[in-house]
């Protein structure tokens, strides 16, 4: 059996950075105290309970990508300036590159991989496709995660309000007009 480059790097990252544990392993690990310098964090990601043992300085972005294999959330600037790493924590949008995983004990995290219902895309995902709201695609997951919350915000109605609400998400390709139209479609409930 051959291993793809992505699988190889994913496995290497999991081995070197820590391991996401299956349910039986989580229960077995619960009885063992974390080694000095590491912390155990139990939280939910896309509806699944996760327990990670990691350095308390590990960001949510790195934990998602390197330990849980959820690579849809992108590392853009790694400084909280571009929005490519936007996810939802307890139903609020956050920048995962600035969020320490150790602070998420008992919280619920939703990533781009968790917003669709099986093969049925989330209305915002569908609208982004309908309006070509992406070009290179690098910022798209963060744009969509922010847009999901903007669509839910009733006080955001006008084009200027939508632009302001999305101002933390940078698109280097300049797909802003298409992103705006996608959000307006999703807010209107069109499919």
The domains of the chain, with CATH numbers, are 5-114 (3.10.20.30), 123-188 (1.10.150.120)
36 pLDDT band, cuts 50/70/90, is confident
Q: What is the pLDDT of residue 17?
A: 44
pLDDT digit string, tens, across residues 118-176: 999 999 999 999 999 999 999 999 999 999 999 999 899 999 999 999 999 999 999 99
Query: By the 8 A CB rule, do 54 and 101 touch?
Result: yes
Provide the pairing of β-strand 108-110 with 39-45: parallel
pLDDT at 29 over 80: no
Nearest to 11 by CA among 20, 90, 135, 50: 20
pTM: 0.81
Cβ partners under 8 Å of residue 115, min gap 6: 122, 124, 125, 144, 145, 148
């Amino acid at each position: 059996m051959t291993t793809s480059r992505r699988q190889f790097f994913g496995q290497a990252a999991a081995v070197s950075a820590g391991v996401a544990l299956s349910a039986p392993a989580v229960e077995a690990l619960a009885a063992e105290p974390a080694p000095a310098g590491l912390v155990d964090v139990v939280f939910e990601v896309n509806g699944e309970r996760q327990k990670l043992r990691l350095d308390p300085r590990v960001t949510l972005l790195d934990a998602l990508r390197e330990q849980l294999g959820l690579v849809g959330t992108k590392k853009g600037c790694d400084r909280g300036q571009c929005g490519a790493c936007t996810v939802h924590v307890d139903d609020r949008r956050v920048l995962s590159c600035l969020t320490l995983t150790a602070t998420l004990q008992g919280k619920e995290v939703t990533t781009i991989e968790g917003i669709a219902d099986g093969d049925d895309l989330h209305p915002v995902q569908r609208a982004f496709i309908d309006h070509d709201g992406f070009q290179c695609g690098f910022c798209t997951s963060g744009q969509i995660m922010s847009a999901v919350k903007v669509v839910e915000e009733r006080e955001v109605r006008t084009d200027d309000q939508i632009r302001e609400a999305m101002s933390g998400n940078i698109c280097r390709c300049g797909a802003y007009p298409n992103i705006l139209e996608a959000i307006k479609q999703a807010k209107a409930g069109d499919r």
